[in-house]
Amino acid sequence: AELGFQNLSDINYFGSRSDRLITMKQGESKVCENGSITSWGCLNQGNATVFKSESGVDNYSTSESAQIINGKDGTFHFSVRHVDDDLAADDVNRPMPSALTISVNDDAKASFDHNAYDEKDLKIAVQCDSFCNCIIKKEDSCSLRAELKYPENPEFFGYHRDDVSVTKVGSDEICNMDSVGETSWGCTHTGNAVVWAPKDPDYYDYNNEESVDITSMYGETVSLQVLHQFS
């Protein structure tokens, strides 16, 4: 599988964009990404990045690939995730899609575009038989959203606060209210689950919720923990 961007000559605006290729084999826990070599025979190489300047100096377009030595009788899942962009002010809303090409024995079988503004990962499943005949299809993105909130009309008085945190198996990075932006494994935390319900109905009150969003849960295991914060 190879991930790359369109030819520089076909891009008529300026800036940079990067996407990332993540490869998994069904039944295996090791992910093929970021230059790794897995025990099940996958080699990840390169970075899918494109840059074009107004001056035409130092322009480049590079690709990322995942090479699987033996795909027979295997089911594989390829994900394309947007990493970063830095476009000129006039070009921020223009698409600069990357393309994922799936080849079997060096024969290109299918190609799929990924637009960064879709916000979802592009997910492709490839299932091969013992003769290396492969079925290739696009999958729906498996995203997760968890919301923590108190009842709209709480049957209690006073101040209460709970915090939610998420951990992923295989990662030490925690997704919680101390997180800045998205974690490396695609989790974003927002809000603060806190309620203030005074006895006096004329006094001010508030009831805020908290949420975590994980862009892709395919093949992942996460744990969610809710802790009460005593005032």
Two structure tokens written together for 46: 């390169």
- Residue 222 makes CB contacts below 8 A (sequence gap 6+) with 144, 166, 167, 168, 169, 187, 214
CB 104 within 8 A of CB 71: yes
Mean pLDDT of 19-41: 89
DSSP state string for 108-175: EEEEEEE-GGG-SPEEEEEEE-TT--EEEEEE----EEEEE---SS-SS-EEEEEEEEEEETT----B
Q: 91 in the Ramachandran plot: left (φ > 0), alpha (ψ -120 to 50) or beta?
A: alpha
Two structure tokens written together for 195: 């309620």
Q: Rounded to two decimals, what is the model's pTM?
A: 0.61
Residue 108, pLDDT > 90, answer yes
> Order of strands, edge to edge, in the sheet holding 42-52?
107-114, 98-104, 2-5, 60-68, 42-52, 15-25, 75-87, 122-128, 134-139
- How much is the CA Rg of the chain, to the nearest whole Å? 22
Please name which of 107, 99, 125, 121 lies closest in space to residue 2, comparing C-alpha atoms.
99
Distance of alpha carbon 73 from the chain centroid: 27
**pLDDT averaged over every residue in the chain:** 86
Residue 94, pLDDT > 70, answer no
Cα–Cα distance measured from residue 147 to residue 125, given in angstroms and rounded to the nearest whole number: 30
- Among 6-10, 132-136, 176-180, 212-216, top mean pLDDT goes to 132-136
Binned at pLDDT 50, 70 and 90, residue 197 comes out as: confident
pLDDT tens digit string along 125-174?
A: 899 999 999 999 987 767 788 999 988 887 788 888 899 999 999 889 99
Cα–Cα distance measured from residue 16 to residue 147, given in angstroms and rounded to the nearest whole number: 34
Amino acid letter for position 22: I
What's the pLDDT score for residue 93?
Answer: 54
